[in-house]
Amino acid sequence: MRWLLRLAILVAVVWAVVGADPAFALDRNFAGSAQVDYHFVPTAPGANARREGFDGVTIEAALKVAVDFSDHFSANVKVCFGCHGFETDMAYFDYRVADELAVRFGRFSPSFGAFNLRHDPANHRLSDKPLPYDMGRMLRLRSWNMGVLPSPFPDNGVEVSGKLALGEGAWLDYAAHAVSGFKGDRLAGDLDWRASRDGSLYYVDNNARPAVGGRVAFTADLGTQTDVTIGSSVMHGTFDPDNDHAYTIAGADASLRIHRTYVRLEYLARRQDVDVSDPLRFRYAVVPNGDFTMKHGAYAEVEQALSSTVDLIVRADGMMRVGNVLALPAGTPIPAEGELSSRSLVGRLTLGAAFSIERSLRVKVSSELWEFSDRNADGQLTAVSFHLGAVGTF
Amino acid sequence: MVVRYVSVRALLGAVLVVIVAAACSGARREGAAPPGLPAELRPNWDLFARRCSKCHSLARPLDSGIDDDEHWRAYVRRMRLTPGSGISLADEAQILEFLRYYAAEQRRKKGKEIDAGAEVPSGTGTEKDGGAP
């Protein structure tokens, strides 16, 4: 059946691009991007690939078509190919009643946080995402189960949003959504990010209860060359088929632009219910109120344009996970990337640069210094890695 | 391991050559204003670059192939109303002034017939759309 879904999406894209009746489709815009990246981890022992992460070459590619039917009505379809294979990242309609009220329905990434707006690799200057939003490029990605909220996070549902002017040079953006929500097995101990976005399940929810959330952001111009945005986001839902276990993700963000310098700060945290009905499944004794885990993540980033050709980026990011850990089955060797403890931390310092070769072509280079609170199978607490990537967009 | 190091160094070297070559070329750059942009439209370009680069590469709009004023009007309005875009109603009008100039240049380069209103670099709109909303 998956081929049927893919065929339907392909037909929709082709129809939107070339087949629609001009009388009904005002404007169509076709866009896309592709990034190829080489991730080199010299501190990984031996030559075995993927001991701790996706070292080697990866690619992310996307094609998108936007159709403006009228001033009030538009459609977007985006398909992408990356580490998870071929997926539908967007397939939604927007109906804008007024500046203050718009309705989006279909498949889309709900408004949450500041980074997700720039999640496409063509839109951010480093090869990888901040750790709280990591979706597989981080070292020890399996034990950490990636970020707090791997980005993008497309889901099916509806979102109401709007923009409220607060005088000259200041406005408030709001958004509220109801979507399927993330998925997970009751006994898994964490969300299943692959199942949450896997097209092989026909993008059908695993329970009947929608997840809800929203975002509020205040933006103000502080002069012709300076502006600031402060935002807050939240989402909440159940992830198991029986609606017994919930997750709540909350975050705050601030971004400041001063001439050609961007400063971005963001923090998010996820509270995750854990089924503790069988205490023997866990590595540590189950304590009262020990039926949940907390995962915190934050990043601070400075992006400085040195010229029209070169951007310099410095980023510090990290995550902390607090809570019990599922025990390895008896006789199972410790994985190469080690195990998490009841309070695990990872920190990373990144220095990178992006070179604009052409307006549509950028080369990205970056170096990363990692520090972990838990040792891997080889006893290491630190690691160094390098990215070399190229991204094209149209 | 040694082979891996050598191959990576070779790869890095090749990329550096490309970067240096590009830096010495006259290629179009992400942050550079279009050549020949009239001085009076420079503030419009700056605003366009500042607002639009918040979320995406400037190549996305500039290399989109759009050369129709009405299309730009719908496009920019949709962008303005994207949650978190940071584009105000006043910004929309100024950004459209630059994009109308840019569209006229695109039409001229393509050898298309240009309507007289769109040729004026500092124009604030065309008769077609009655100006910015």
> Among B104, B77, B86, B4, which Cα is nearest to B49's?
B86
pLDDT of A195 > 90? The answer is: no
Contact flag B31-A356 (C-beta cutoff 8 Å): yes
- Write out chain B residues lying below 8 Å of A163, CB-based: 80-81, 83
Of A27, A118, A308, the CB nearest to B31: A308
Residue of A nearest to B75 (CA): A68
Average pLDDT over residues A332-338: 86
SS3 call for A221:
strand
pLDDT of A24 > 50? The answer is: no
What integer best gives the mean pLDDT of chain B? 72
What are the phi and psi torsion angles at A197 (to 5°)?
Answer: -130, 15
> Among A161, A150, A146, A153, which Cα is nearest to A180's?
A153
Average pLDDT over residues A16-39: 72
- Per the model's pLDDT, the better-predicted residue between A19 and A300 turns out to be A300
DSSP state of A324: -
Query: Would you give the distance in Å from CA A300 to the centre of its chain?
Result: 16
pLDDT of B8 > 70? The answer is: no
Contact with chain A for residue B17, Cβ under 8 A: no
Contact flag B74-A117 (C-beta cutoff 8 Å): no
pLDDT of B118 > 70? The answer is: no
Give per-residue pLDDT as tens, A212-263: 999 999 999 898 888 899 999 999 999 999 999 999 999 999 999 998 899 9
Q: Which span out of A79-88, A339-348, B97-106 was modeled with the highest average pLDDT?
A: A339-348
Instruction: Tell me the Cα Rg of chain A.
Output: 22
Any alpha helices (H) in chain A, and if so which ranges?
2-14, 141-144, 193-197
| pLDDT for residue B133 | 30
Average pLDDT over residues B17-24: 51
Q: How confident is the model at residue A85 (pLDDT cuts 50, 70, 90)?
A: confident
| pLDDT for residue B3 | 45
pLDDT of B18 > 60? The answer is: no
Contact flag B71-A257 (C-beta cutoff 8 Å): no
A245-279 in b/e form (b: 16+ CB < 10 A) is: bbbbbbbbbbbbbeebebebebbbbbebbbeeeee
Q: Can you tell me the ipTM of this complex? A: 0.76
Q: How confident is the model at residue A194 (pLDDT cuts 50, 70, 90)?
A: confident
Cis peptide upstream of residue A335 (ω within 30 degrees of 0): no
| pLDDT for residue A269 | 98
